[in-house]
Amino acid sequence: MRAFFQRKRRIVVVLVLLIIGATGIKAYSDKDKYFEIAKNLDIFAAFYRELNTYYVDDLPPEKLMHKGIDAILEETDPYTDFIPEENLDELKFMATGKYGGVGISVITDSVRTVITDIYEGSPMDKAGVKTGDLILSLDGKPTQDMDQDDISHMLKGVPGTTLQMVTKNPSTGVETSKTITREEINVKPVSYSGMVGNDIGYIRMTQFTENSGDAVSDAFTQLKKDHPAIRGVILDLRGNPGGLLDEAVLVANIFVDKNKVIVSTKGKVKNWDRDYKTEGNAIDAKIPLAVLTNRSSASASEIVAGAIQDLDRGVIIGQRSFGKGLVQTTRPLPYNAKLKVTTAKYYTPSGRCIQAIDYSHRNDDGEVESVPDSLRKSFSTADGRKVRDGGGIEPDDAVDPTLLSQVTVTLLRRQYIFDYATQYYYSHPKIAAAGSFSLSEDDFSDFMRYLDGRNYSYKTHTEEAMENLQATARKEKYYDAMSKEFEALQAKMKHDKKQDLLKNKTEIKHLLEEEISNRYYMQKGRIAQSLVTDNEVTEAVKVLHDPQKYQQLLH
């Protein structure tokens, strides 16, 4: 039986090769590679013809092809992908940041579907729907029977089409039927811009889609206009997965003068190799600049951060970036399908490629690994600082990531912080401005009372390690002799949930303040509130206020 399925898998892979090619393909000259391709396509054409004619059961072509394509793609990197016509909207969204829908985010489980975010100015915002509202049905279908993908699919659609929705107010229990007309939703690449303190500008980018460069340029220009005494700017690229390479060059051009190489691409098709240079004058090529990165900053984010670092134009603060140094191009396929294929690697101005995982060399089991430190090479920035390839952008000023406690993670997962924020919103007509809001001691005590009777039990990492140790001890026949010691350790480790709440009060309180601010001031309010306790932002402000330290980091 196993041999049968192995043969079937090989059949599928070969079948796909036929579809990728065209019938009657000839060998190109005498090059071995093209001869092998042509030879195997001919073999495959005959093979599939015989199989399709004589195999006892039907082999559905489309299903078979997709399985085969997936099998072939396993040999490439995760960014090379086949995109059928029905999924082209996802590709469009990645490039433009636009989609047809109603402008909300939801989370669902087997019990309820709740609105977690509403985009400002969206159809749902105009309809008066609130974050925390429950969605009971969509076009007459109960959401309780749907999974997350089904709900997302129904919320999206062609602009101008309508969606019947029944929502429930979580405070009053009142159910409301609404007819929502879908619109084109534009997820803005700049989710927030403002000031941190009196003299440091702050711009947060979420993606590099069409017109991202203009959006950052407009935000920075407005900050300079409204705050003439501005003495530094923070460009926050944390969590930004990237996007369009051209937009990354435009963003860098805001701070880097014209005719500077920002990124170079090199691939198999040499005619496509290119140096991407800044083409216009910078808005401000002198203002002190801090770029924030973390492990989720990737692709175009790393192009910007890498250029700023290699040109010694600003300091990188935070954690090492993701390490994606690969460039994708879309190629047309029959029947409106697309192939998104990695065609090149990109190189920062110093000449380094920051790709962290080597997909061209796999272990015997097919797994890939990160480039080891021993093989990473050193390069020099414009002023001679040493930087390395093969592992993302390393910060000039490293800040440890904020790690939440187990009790806090549990409160978030069970949505108790989210639900309490909803309750707070309906019992408090107004709060202070985002960034100035603070929960009182009485408020936090009320939150603890809210948790009474609710299940937020969890295991600490130490308890999990202890369970593993006990299991090993039983397996190796040591447990009986050590049982009393195990029991004594467990007694010492037993945690009191209320004491854990008090011990981690500060981080829980901050998350509550952010979620509550989101109820009153939407996404911008959440971000403004988060900046108050953001370690990387605090460090960036400190560096930008200290010219000596800023210069030390650059030399």
| Per-residue pLDDT tens listing for the chain (555 residues) | 344 334 444 444 444 444 444 444 443 455 678 888 888 889 878 888 888 889 999 888 888 778 888 988 998 999 999 999 988 988 889 899 999 999 999 999 878 999 999 999 999 999 999 999 999 999 999 998 899 999 999 999 999 999 999 999 999 999 999 999 999 999 999 999 999 999 999 999 999 999 999 999 999 999 999 999 999 999 999 999 999 999 999 999 999 999 999 999 999 899 999 999 999 999 999 999 999 999 999 999 999 999 999 999 999 999 999 999 999 999 999 999 999 999 999 999 999 999 999 898 888 777 888 888 888 999 999 999 999 999 999 999 999 999 999 999 999 999 999 999 999 999 999 999 999 999 999 999 999 999 998 888 777 777 778 778 888 888 888 778 888 887 777 676 666 778 889 999 999 999 999 999 999 999 999 999 999 999 999 999 999 999 999 999 998
Question: What values do phi and psi take at 231, rounded to 5?
Answer: -120, 5
3 state SS of 336 = helix
CATH number assigned to the domain comprising residue 220? 3.90.226.10
Cβ pair 272, 343 in contact under 8 A: yes
In a domain, 447, yes or no: yes
Structural domain count of the chain:
4
- Asked if residue 373 and residue 284 are part of one domain, the reply reads yes
Structure tokens at 441: 């001691």
CATH number assigned to the domain comprising residue 168? 2.30.42.10
Q: Which residues, other chains included, contact 339 with Cβ-Cβ below 8 Å and sequence gap of 6+?
A: 80, 81, 82, 83, 330, 331, 332, 333
In a domain, 424, yes or no: yes
- Asked if residue 284 and residue 171 are part of one domain, the reply reads no
Position 466: which residue type? M
- Asked if residue 524 and residue 434 are part of one domain, the reply reads yes
Of 131, 155, 186, the position where a domain reaches its end is 186
Of 186, 208, 240, the position where a domain reaches its end is 186
- Asked if residue 303 and residue 182 are part of one domain, the reply reads no
List the domain range (segments joined by +) for residue 40.
1-59
For 169-284, list the strands marked E by DSSP. Answer: 175-181, 183-186, 190-196, 200-205, 232-236, 261-267, 274-277
- Asked if residue 254 and residue 177 are part of one domain, the reply reads no
Of 167, 186, 205, the position where a domain reaches its end is 186
- Asked if residue 412 and residue 397 are part of one domain, the reply reads no
Structure tokens at 543: 């560096």
- Asked if residue 195 and residue 181 are part of one domain, the reply reads no
CA pair distance 2, 7, nearest whole angstrom? 9
In a domain, 475, yes or no: no
CA pair distance 97, 244, nearest whole angstrom? 11
CA pair distance 300, 304, nearest whole angstrom? 6
In a domain, 546, yes or no: no
Hey, how many other C-beta atoms are within 10 angstroms of the C-beta on 371?
Answer: 20
CA pair distance 164, 16, nearest whole angstrom? 42
Catalytic one of 193, 260, 324, 389 = 324
Q: Running DSSP on this structure, what letter comes out for residue 393?
A: P
In a domain, 522, yes or no: yes
**CA-based nearest residue to 253, from 224, 285, 221:** 285
Cβ pair 202, 222 in contact under 8 A: no
pLDDT attached to residue 8: 43
Structure tokens at 304: 């910007």
pLDDT attached to residue 522: 96
pLDDT attached to residue 429: 95
- Asked if residue 255 and residue 286 are part of one domain, the reply reads yes
- Asked if residue 217 and residue 120 are part of one domain, the reply reads no
- Asked if residue 435 and residue 384 are part of one domain, the reply reads no
pLDDT attached to residue 516: 98
pLDDT attached to residue 495: 64
In a domain, 550, yes or no: no
In a domain, 288, yes or no: yes
310 is catalytic: yes
In a domain, 175, yes or no: yes
Catalytic one of 122, 217, 297, 299 = 299
497 is catalytic: no
- Asked if residue 137 and residue 102 are part of one domain, the reply reads yes
Hey, how many other C-beta atoms are within 10 angstroms of the C-beta on 48?
Answer: 19
- Asked if residue 294 and residue 377 are part of one domain, the reply reads yes
Q: Which residues, other chains included, contact 235 with Cβ-Cβ below 8 Å and sequence gap of 6+?
A: 203, 205, 216, 251, 289, 290, 291, 292, 304, 314
Distances (CA, A) of 158 to 126, 147, 163, 340: 18, 21, 11, 24
